[in-house]
Structure 1
Amino acid sequence: MRPRTYARWPRSTRLALPRRVTLRARLTLVYSALFLVAGVVLLGATYVLFNQQINRSTVKVVAQRPSPDTDSDATVRQNDVVFRDGQPIAIDDVEKWMREQQQQLHDAATTSMLTQGGIALGVVGLAAAGFGWLIAGRVLSPLHRVTETARRIAQAPAADRVLHERIALRGRHDEVRDLADTFDAMIGRLDRSFEGQRRFIANASHELRTPLTLSRALVEIAMNRKAASADVRQLGDSLLDIHARHENLIDGLLVLATSENEVVDPRPVDLADVVTHVAAMTRAEAAAAGVTVQQAAAEAVTSGNALLIERVVHNLVENGIRHNRGPAGWVRVTSRIVAGGRVQVEVTNTGQSIQPHEVPALFEPFHRRAGNRQVTGRGAGLGLSIVRSVVRNHGGGVDAEPRDGGGLVVTVTLPAFADHGSAGTTGAGEAATICPRML
């Protein structure tokens, strides 16, 4: 079975990757670690100094000689040392006893210092981590604005339609402010570039319509003269075909420029009506090419611009007719509801074999496949580019894959209309107020 290759342009193509430790958490960990290291060093230095100081100290022992009235039978000897509690100790054992007492005092003091110091260090360390988390969040809050703005632009149905948005960060002029200002400047240049490109396409297309219309009128007048010879009429037919191709190109550029604009006042559109209408419109052309148009129109309501959605289906069906294999060829167009609150239109056609790596290039403007059997000259090479642009702007995606045995399978996925009863559904009758041309 032929491997599948997809040319998908969904609203967001970003894969869900495992979330790493945030910068705020890393800053908090670094700050807390530095604080703990500094605290441990300070506690260690205190321990060393305390240890040195306590080793210099001595145990003071209060000794006394036997009192004059001490009984001669008393156990206290002349050379014994007597503590305040009356406990005697031999003078020879005093040094050993003092060392033992000094060691016990040293151990108790150092243990108490380390225990209490460790507890204090832990409590203060937790407090420092909390303050570090709050401070890091406050410092990084401008970066969150930069990230959210960039994410809204990247995930918008038509990304260049929100390029007018700016971060406009206020406050101190620091590194984060420089980043936000640089981002705003970059988005501004992109916005002006896209807007200038759309304006140029629209203006150039409108300006080219007038001379083409005038030229067509002159050719038709020359052809309709009584004195026109057969050669003149044949030349006129050729010129009219060239004019038709140029007009289709201009229309395609206008639609392409229009499809980049935000959808204003979207209405519910039943894809079943669109499929039925497009199939009826294209059957005559398909019959002339020896191709059969098949349809399976199931109710599938989406929301958007009815004219542009019909243009999508029309371009896909006529693309399948133009690039078919002639007699015994067919084009099948289907509408359906799929899981996840989506609806689909699928157009399948027979035709030449297409390699998987060629599929993405089919959606590029003015693309021509090597060995393409394009004999009509009516197409301007913008049909699939318009499909991609319109579907993108409606929040959908386009999948394309080679068909086993030759041809192509193109699936358009759009968001389903949420409430069928809130507005009248726009069918093919309303959508067909203009007839999409072959692009």
Structure 2
Amino acid sequence: MKKRRMEKRCMEKRRITLRARLTLVYGGLFFAAGIVLLGVTYVLFAQQLDRGGDLSVHTDSGGSASSPQNTPSDSLNWVADEQKRLHDAATASLITQGGLALTLVGGVAAGFGWLIAGRVLVPLHRVTDTARRIASAPAADRGLHERIALDGRDDEVKDLADSFDLMVERLDRSFDGQRRFVANASHELRTPLTVGRALVELAMHRKTASPDVKRLGEDFLEINDRHERLISGLLLLAGSENHIPDRQNVDLADVVTHVTAQRAPEAEKTGITVHEDAGPAPTTGDALLLERIVQNLVENGIRHNTDDGGWVQVTSRTLEDGRAETEVSNTGPEVPSYELPTLFEPFRRLDTERLVTAKGAGLGLSIVRSVARAHGGDVTARPRPDGGLTVTVTLPQESRHRPQG
């Protein structure tokens, strides 16, 4: 990623800007017009000299010519030579001095063209700067309050700026509606599930409840629990791309140790061994969301595994460039390479008939990717040759200064 950014910057440095191209166009047109004008002047000047070349030789009363020679032929030759010398001198002076003046005035014109092009492109720079600020916002819905609000004459550039402002305003309203929907869904969806759980538990714990009612209640509670996990995952997925305002320095080694200890009982029940290699991996972000990354990866490794001596390997380390990395590998069914991109999409899972405990909702890796991107990181996955998957999450390095609480 860093290499791509450097290549992009080098390409931006090598490219010719619109201002430079406009200046070249202005200067080129001026020089072309100047050369045409100089050529026309030269032709007219040469014709004028040729018209004045029909000179007569005047002789004095003694019959001698006004030239150094006494014969008419010599006088005519002398006049022709003088005329040619005058023509060559005037032509050389016209071309030399005219070309010098053209170069000087052309340079001044190019300078004025550069200044004029810069003033003309100022509104476009405002459009570009605003678009870059919105695009570089830490989350998709941050920065949409930015507006160009271009003043000035009503022209094509102002139409472009107004259209851009209108587009951003509509996007802002759309994201605002999405935030309100998430907030309302959090309440509207959780409340009936909570009420349903309470009613089922009340019916199960009644003294008159039959074994069939208790067994049916356990099934309902399991379904209810899965729906609660599904709703929690959807809400977290919807809000995980938001900006992380309160970043703290977190060591992924502590997160790996904590999550591994929590998930060890679940792994033992399914006959899966969890191996831990928690090396120092300091980064910056939200501790709970970073814990959710490791938790989802470990749960994914445990659930999508085999019952024949399967294992999950959890590792954290610091890369040479200072970035923090955590990696979770697991045994399991063979994963085709062409299926990897779809694993990070919501509700996309591989064939669950081969899995021992496929109880997930298909949101685990989607949440991992969203949380990683919200922290400025990235996530990749690759299949293991013997079956299973290796998922690697890379996060930015730890900040030099700890944020003030």
Correspondence 1:90 to 2:71: yes
Deviation at 1:27, TM superposition (A): 0.8
Q: Is the contact made by 1:268 and 1:423 (CA closer than 8 Å) also made in structure 2?
A: no
Aligned CA-pair RMSD: 2.2
Q: Provide the rounded CA distance (Å) in 2 between the counterparts of 1:40 and 1:139.
A: 27
Q: Any residues of structure 2 matched to 1:385-400 within 5 Å, and which?
A: 385-400=366-381
Amino acid at match of 2:45: F
Q: Corresponding residue for 1:379?
A: 360
**How many Å separate the matches in 2 of 1:372 and 1:91?**
121
1:81 maps onto 2:81 in alignment? no
Cα distance between partner residues in 1 of 2:61 and 2:69: 10
Q: Which one of 166, 177, 183 corresponds to residue 196 of structure 1?
A: 177
Matches of 2:195 and 2:289, distance apart in 1: 28
Provide structure 2 residue ranges, at least 5 long, that are not aligned to the other structure: none
* Partner residue in 1 for 2:144: 163
1:277 aligns with 2:258: yes
**Deviation digits for residues 218-277 of structure 1, max 9, x if unmatched?**
111111122222211111111001000111111112222332322122111111110000
Q: Distance in 1 between matches of 2:125 and 2:338?
A: 39
Structure-to-structure mapping, 1:225-264, within 5 angstroms = 225-264=206-245
Distance change (3 Å), C-alpha of 1:326 and 1:137: farther
**1:327 corresponds to which of 296, 308, 320:** 308
| Residue of structure 2 aligned with 1:208, choices 189, 194, 201 | 189
When normalised by structure 1's length, the TM-score is 0.86
Q: Is the 8 A contact 2:327 2:392 kept in 1?
A: yes
How far is 1:88 from its partner? 3.3
Query: What is the match of residue 43 of structure 1?
Result: 38
After superposition, what is the alpha-carbon deviation per residue over 1:397-439, rounded to whole angstroms, capped at 9, x for unaligned? 1122222222211111111122366769xxxxxxxxxxxxxxx
Corresponding residue of 2:298: 317
Give 1:151 shift.
Answer: 2.2
Following the alignment from structure 2 to structure 1, what is the Cα–Cα distance between the partners of residues 354 and 404?
A: 44
Q: Secondary structure at the match of 1:353?
A: coil
Query: Where does 1:9-24 land on structure 2 (aligned, <5 Å)?
Result: 16=8, 18-19=11-12, 20-24=15-19
Instruction: Please list, as runs of the form range in 1=range in 2, the aligned pairs for 1:276-315 lying within 5 A after superposition.
Output: 276-315=257-296
SS in 2 for 1:406: coil
Q: Shift of residue 326 of structure 1? A: 2.5
% of aligned pairs identical? Answer: 61
Deviations 1:136-174 (A, max 9, x none): 111112212222222232233323322222222222221
Please say if residues 65 and 82 of structure 1, whose CA atoms lie closer than 8 Å, have aligned partners that are also in contact.
no
Structure-2 change in CA distance of 1:420 and 1:14 (3 Å): closer
Deviation at 1:89, TM superposition (A): 3.1
| Structure-2 change in CA distance of 1:331 and 1:92 (3 Å) | same
More RCO (CA 8 Å, sep 6+): 1
Aligned-pair CA distance for 1:117: 0.5
SS of the equivalent of 1:168 reads coil
Distance change (3 Å), C-alpha of 1:241 and 1:255: same
In the TM superposition, residue 339 of structure 1 has moved relative to its aligned partner by: 2.6
- Compared CA separation, residues 419 and 18, structure 1 to 2 (3 A): closer
Contact residue 301 and residue 420 of structure 1 kept, 8 A: no
More helix by share: 2
TM-score by length of 2: 0.92
Report if aligned partners of 1:143, 1:176 keep a CA contact under 8 Å in 2.
yes
Alpha carbons of structure 1 residues 213 and 376: separation in structure 2 relative to 1, 3 Å: farther
How far, CA to CA, are the matches of 1:109 and 1:262 in structure 2? 75
Q: Deviations over 1:7-66 (max 9, x none)?
A: x9x9x9896272321111111111111111110111111111111111111357664234
Match of 2:61 in 1: 65
Residue of structure 2 in register with 1:354 after alignment? 335
Distance in 1 between residues matched to 2:26 and 2:275, nearest whole Å: 68
User: By how many angstroms is 1:201 displaced?
Assistant: 2.4
| 1:384 positional shift | 1.2
Which moves more between the two structures, 401-410 or 114-123? Answer: 401-410
Aligned partners of 2:128, 2:184: CA distance in 1, in Å? 36
Gapped regions of structure 1 (runs ≥ 5): 1-7, 67-78, 425-439
